[in-house]
Amino acid sequence: MSITVGAYEAKTRFSELLDRVVHGETITVSRHGTPVARLAPLGEPEPAEGRRAAAEIRRLRAGLRLDGLTIRELMDEGRR
């Protein structure tokens, strides 16, 4: 189900509108009768997205060097 609300009404009833979105509704927000935004459920994130992010982190980490220092030594140095 989809409804349209004005910007003022959206502002004053935002929490209620978010509850409706959580339950699957899509809400269009209008300003002076012209649709300007849509509140819609996000859906589930794709597992492949997480795997891509983890692979990118591993790739970025591969080039980092501590020049023989441990993480503890670096943390202690930062506290001085």
pLDDT at 80: 75
| Domains identified in the chain and CATH numbers | 2-39 (3.40.1620.10), 47-79 (no CATH)
| The predicted structure's pLDDT at residue 4 | 96
| Structure confidence at residue 40 (pLDDT) | 93
HSE-up (13 A, CA, CB side) for residue 17: 20
Q: Which of the residues in the chain have pLDDT under 70? A: none
Note the pTM of the prediction, 2 decimals.
0.54
pLDDT of residue 29: 96
- CB atoms near residue 12 (< 10 Å): 12
Task: Quote the pLDDT of residue 33.
Answer: 93
- The reported pLDDT for the residue numbered 71 is 79
Contact 22, 14 (CB under 8 A): no
